[in-house]
Structure 1
């Protein structure tokens, strides 16, 4: 079991209690991971865990790096050095400033050196002095800021947090997505993604969106800490694997036709009723779409493990194909770790997949 490197006391957990108020950050986060999905990258999205949005670039807790984002949906005046670093009075002294709050989640932590990007996302934008103020940037890096601006920010943050400098991976981001059209914007992004993954395929982008946003809502309200990485991923994150699964369930594509035709020819030999055949047909369709295009490290390892386990068993050595499949299922269930499969139907689907693939 891998330790969860992010297992430090969270700065606050009240965000999970007021989850329904933050639809904008959910939709912005979806746009961010859809970019990663388009680029065939693994990811695990965490909402309201240390920060508004945290994205891991791997499902492997020993090697994952992280992006930390604070997402603000505001109107009115742009953020300046002064209002980014302004501190309000609180019950136990001054509260953290907007920028100080973000950086306190990152600086001085045991995972600090595994943070790739620290982003302050604000729909009202930024008014920060740059080396070239004629440029209209939607992403402003520390390197874009003037020396005077950087020094002023660094002095304010040092006074607040004791940090001696502004992190070089800090970015100020103006989101493309807007509050008024966020739902429609993300649904369109899902449709574009599926079209790029499965050209000429047919998908229900609204159903995909609803399933994913429901998953984010369900995971976002979880406010517990998790000492081990696996539980954090399972109970708190939306993973690239889950998004692939949802897309596959809601997509039809001609690439699955040959294998489904071959599966149909096995129905009588395996003694399946129509309802049993229909169930496995849908399972195979889903698995094929999941394994078309981007394959995550998790999926590659799983496929390798399954193939190696039953490599020595040839279904044709048995009296019937049904007996051969039963032997393979038995070996997988006995040899692979507990929890590898949810049920016998999942084991059979993997056996069928390998047979039809070859």
Structure 2
């Protein structure tokens, strides 16, 4: 059975744990840094979110044969010991799995396809036999006592027959990201990647580039639909090498077009004498609108844009009033569209800003 076929029959484990917003953002920033690392390496890849593990990386989007599994852990203070990752979590009804036990279950599900099992932490791992500070520790480097501790705990937890080569695929990572500054560190890494791939004098907005890619990662990470096959995993929960390359090209080239479109639209509003409060609300909404126009494969946003253009096309001959009068009229008509009525994502002024952009066909 191929790896892609296995995804149809092996369901991801339930993940009911909660995490503070900053911890989730740390994980998403780590994923962006991983995308940067993979891009710099030149290899093909497919990085998927919250599927069998926090992050998984497959070696191909077309015919994958190997997977790297990553479990991301954060804590404010202290270090992670072997005991921390081998102790089973206490639940209201019995014991849950240990950190390493849950991670190792992936090896049991995808034996020949597992390339590595990785625990990533913002703090270092305190391993007695490893004296120096290391960013990466392979468990085969541990001393015999520590190896035996891992063996005995995983044998008991998972009821498996142990092989010493199992340790060859288990890695402990001390991330360069910190809880306090993961946004800034990731933004810096992204800027360096863009400058290395394109001309050093390329004009782009670093903050907009970072926010656009972070929002795309956030959107794919947070999709909670059931994934039934590999094709759905690619479309809804993953970023491929080609996807990331397109994202980078968009954040370098498209913002100038959007800035020009914004300037033209607000010149039109100013010339029409739009009120200052309305102008400020629309200007604030534009910050989110431009992110959506820069996003890849945002099906719902594209549906909304299609609905807006349908309303405009059906009523174009009735738009005789001032800019804001036409805007209000189109907005009322848009609210009659079923997909708009049922959505709770986009605000009134977000939708009005999109209406303006589509109405005046600003590219």
Superposition TM-score tier, normalisation by shorter sequence: 0.5 to 0.7
Q: 1:194-238: per-residue Cα shift (whole Å, max 9, x none)?
A: 111123333333222212111111111223333321221011112
Q: Label 1:116 to 1:221 Cα distance change in 2 as closer, same or farther (>3 A).
A: same
Offset from partner CA, 1:14-43 (integer Å, 9 cap, x none): 369987751111111111110111122222
Higher helix share: 2
Q: Does 1:126 align with 2:125?
A: yes
In 1: Cα distance, 2:18 partner to 2:225 partner = 10
Q: Distance in 1 between matches of 2:159 and 2:4?
A: 29
1:18–1:112 CA distance, 2 compared to 1 (3 A): farther
Q: What corresponds to 2:234 in structure 1?
A: 233
Please report how far the alpha carbon of residue 239 of structure 1 lies from its aligned counterpart in structure 2 after TM superposition. Answer: 2.1
Aligned pairs (5 A) from 1:259-278 = none
Instruction: Give the aligned partner of residue 37 of structure 2.
Output: 35
Stretches (4+) displaced over 3 A: 13-21
Q: Normalising by the residue count of structure 2, what TM-score does the alignment of the two structures yield?
A: 0.63
Q: Root-mean-square deviation (CA), in Å?
A: 2.4
Question: Is the Cα contact below 8 Å between 2:212 and 2:251 reproduced in 1?
Answer: no
2:176 aligned with 1:179? no
Supply the distance in 2 between the matched residues of 1:148 and 1:198 (Cα, whole angstroms): 50
**For the residues of structure 2 that align with 1:194 and 1:180, how far apart are their CA atoms?**
24
Q: Return the alpha-carbon distance in structure 2 between the equivalents of residues 126 and 190 of structure 1.
A: 27
Q: Are the structure 2 counterparts of residues 17 and 46 from structure 1 closer, same or farther at C-alpha, using a change threshold of 3 Å?
A: farther
Displacement of 1:169? 0.8
Residues 45, 238 of structure 1: 8 Å contact kept? yes
- TM-score, length-scaled by structure 1: 0.63
Residue 59 of structure 1: how far off its partner (Å) = 0.8
Gaps of 5+ in 2: 254-363
User: Are the aligned partners of 2:209 and 2:252 in contact in 1 as well (CA < 8 Å)?
Assistant: no
Residues 67-76 or 39-48, more deviating: 39-48
Report the secondary structure of 2:7's partner residue.
coil
- Does the CA contact (< 8 Å) of 1:19 and 1:221 recur in 2? no
Instruction: Report SS of the residue matched to 1:168.
Output: helix
How many positions carry a matched residue from both structures?
Answer: 247
